[in-house]
Amino acid sequence: QSVLTQPPSASGTPGQRVTISCSGRSSNIGSNTVNWYQQLPGTAPKLLIYNNDHRPSGVPDRFSGSKSGTSASLAISWLQSEDETDYYCAVWDDSLNGWVFGGGTKLTVL
């Protein structure tokens, strides 16, 4: 079981807004910044959001991140079919002295 808790699945229809949560504890999300990764089938993960709410160059502004207390969220606005894939949150854990990933959320575009 992952240190960070993500819903295993999420879904939405094209054009909708979907949010994916990532729940942690004081030693990880409560103390450090959260990054989000997108992984398309059969490919390496790709950085989607860093430092809670920053987008790397090239990532559409439909993707946004936020953090409050010991939880973080990834929001995807104007959902598109190509957004259907897996999403992971990640953060440094001060107690474990290492990185922890959420279990991943599989997003389905209906």
Partner 1 sequence: EVQVVESGGGLVKPGGSVRLSCAASGFSFSSYSMNWVRQAPGKGLEWVSSISSNTKYIYDAVSVRGRFTVSRDNAKNSLFLQMNSLRVEDTAIYYCARGGVGAQRNDVFDVWGQGTMVTVSS
Binding site for partner 1 (CB under 8 A): 2, 32-33, 35, 37, 39, 43-47, 50-51, 56, 88, 90, 92, 94, 96-104
H or E element that contains 18? strand 18-23
How far apart CA 49 and CA 99 sit, in angstroms, is 16
Closest separation in Å from C-beta 105 to partner 1: 10
Closest separation in Å from C-beta 45 to partner 1: 6
Closest separation in Å from C-beta 88 to partner 1: 5
CB nearer partner 1, residue 43 or residue 68: 43
Tokens of 32: 């450090």
How far apart CA 64 and CA 17 sit, in angstroms, is 11
CB nearer partner 1, residue 43 or residue 81: 43
Closest separation in Å from C-beta 91 to partner 1: 9
CB nearer partner 1, residue 41 or residue 81: 41
Q: 21 and 73 in contact (C-beta within 8 Å)?
A: yes
How far apart CA 46 and CA 62 sit, in angstroms, is 16
CB nearer partner 1, residue 83 or residue 88: 88
Residue 16 has a CB neighbour count (10 Å cut-off) of 13
